[in-house]
Structure 1
Amino acid sequence: MQGKKTELWLVRHGQTDWNVEGRYQGQADRPLNEIGIRQARDLARKISDVKFAAIYSSDLQRAFSTAKILADEREVKVDPRLREIHQGEWEGQLFSVIRERYADFFEDRRENPLESRPPGGESLKEVAERVKSCVDEIAARHPGERILIVSHGLAIATLIVASLGMPFSKAFEMIPENADPKIIFWPPDLNGKGK
């Protein structure tokens, strides 16, 4: 069945209080807030006629709760490789404080977006490799099928840029809104695209 593309519906989890407060979540296991639950329910209604061969989710509760709402009694397969970037010591901290306190890091990230990492956290390259390995396996299990994946902003953004043949450094600009599905085909067909 080689050559059959898998249609991936990528959904970032619903809103959390830390999204609203402007805090780095990373792999901190925060629940959906009331708006996040409503976002997931609204999306479930919008896509109720779409048939998925399987549903996969990050194991973090904000993603898994979103996936359970979207699944409507169907099985949700959990894979921790779909987690968000690990923000290390920054998890739970306000963006504004981190940007002020670690201005050198953001300069370094501009210069070296793939390798730079927060203290004790992951690099963009590590996230992209981790998520890609998971999605490669999912696509190999489901060639030519439609799959729903519920994950996190930057994790999803790495898949979007890969599917478009864009450099991974652009992932920071491609983070989707909460509960706003993005459809890509996997594996990417990069003939004539990217390097």
Structure 2
Amino acid sequence: MKTEFILLRHGETEWNTLGRLQGHRDSALSAKGLRQADALAVRLASVPFQALYCSDLGRARETARRIAAHTGHPVLEDGRLRERGLGILEGLTRDEAGQRHPEVFAEYAAGGPDFIIPGGESASQRLRHAVECLEELGARHVGARVVVVTHGGVLSSLFRRCLGIPPGVPRAFSVLNASWSQFDYHQGAFRLVTWGDVNHLRDDSRDDT
């Protein structure tokens, strides 16, 4: 029997709008991000699922909290679902990061999976934590549907893993805020079913995704 995961990216944050690298630092959901979280909540209110998990970072917690207000599920936090720690680059725009830490930012931008940002971590370290968590949840909720609110970096890495896209290959796909993706977990492996669905956002004329 499989476990069905609905993996959600958190709603847009103030730092998303400014193009700032967040990592483990946090920024409040923007007005648009709050609407996005509420749209996810409305959609999920009609979808039966067994449990609601989220990253322990504020932007994911707030998205999950707004979902829980509609569905009645307790919000279960797990730090392994966090975004990649970006260390000395956190809080900077890409231009600022390139100016202040040119060598570090160049390595980060190159996308090497094992490059550890000073004060942060590598993409492979973060993926390992996230996969460990999801595998545990898959074993815990066999035959059920589970909702997980996480981050763009985690989703991107899992997408590459499922499709065999090398980490260093430039990203040719979007990971939109409040997007809805489905992965099935069966016999120790993840299978991509749906990627980046944002149909729940279309009713908001103020949303431009």
TM-score by length of 2: 0.81
2:25 counterpart SS class: coil
Write the distance in 1 (CA, Å) between the matches of 2:41 and 2:30.
Answer: 17
Write the distance in 1 (CA, Å) between the matches of 2:106 and 2:85.
Answer: 19
Write the distance in 2 (CA, Å) between the matches of 1:169 and 1:144.
Answer: 34
Identity across matched positions, percent: 36
Counterparts of 1:86-165 in structure 2, within 5 Å, are 86-109=85-108, 113-165=112-164
Write the distance in 1 (CA, Å) between the matches of 2:157 and 2:165.
Answer: 9
The one of 14, 18, 21 equivalent to 1:17 is 14
Structure 1 pair 41–13 and aligned structure 2 pair: CA distance change class (3 A): same
1:31 counterpart SS class: coil
Gaps of 5+ in 1: 191-195
How far apart are residue 107 of structure 1 and its match? 4.4
Deviations 1:26-78 (A, max 9, x none): 00132212111111111222232111111100011110110111122311111
Q: Is the 8 A contact 2:110 2:168 kept in 1?
A: no
Write the distance in 2 (CA, Å) between the matches of 1:91 and 1:188.
Answer: 30
1:119 counterpart SS class: coil
Q: Is the 8 A contact 1:82 1:131 kept in 2?
A: yes
Gaps of 5+ in 2: 193-209
Write the distance in 2 (CA, Å) between the matches of 1:111 and 1:98.
Answer: 14
**Aligned position for 1:193:** none
Structure 1 pair 171–46 and aligned structure 2 pair: CA distance change class (3 A): farther
Deviates more, 1:117-126 or 1:172-181: 172-181
Write the distance in 2 (CA, Å) between the matches of 1:107 and 1:87.
Answer: 13
2:190 counterpart SS class: coil
Structure 1 pair 80–14 and aligned structure 2 pair: CA distance change class (3 A): same
Q: Is the 8 A contact 1:154 1:175 kept in 2?
A: no
- 1:8 paired to 2:5: yes
The one of 188, 191, 194 equivalent to 2:190 is 188
**Aligned position for 2:84:** 85
Write the distance in 2 (CA, Å) between the matches of 1:171 and 1:70.
Answer: 33
Q: What is the CA RMSD across the aligned residues, in angstroms?
A: 2.2
Structure 1 pair 112–17 and aligned structure 2 pair: CA distance change class (3 A): closer
**Aligned position for 1:48:** 45
Q: Is the 8 A contact 1:154 1:171 kept in 2?
A: no
- 1:60 paired to 2:50: no
How far apart are residue 150 of structure 1 and its match? 0.2
Write the distance in 1 (CA, Å) between the matches of 2:101 and 2:2.
Answer: 42
How far apart are residue 109 of structure 1 and its match? 4.7
Structure 1 pair 53–178 and aligned structure 2 pair: CA distance change class (3 A): same
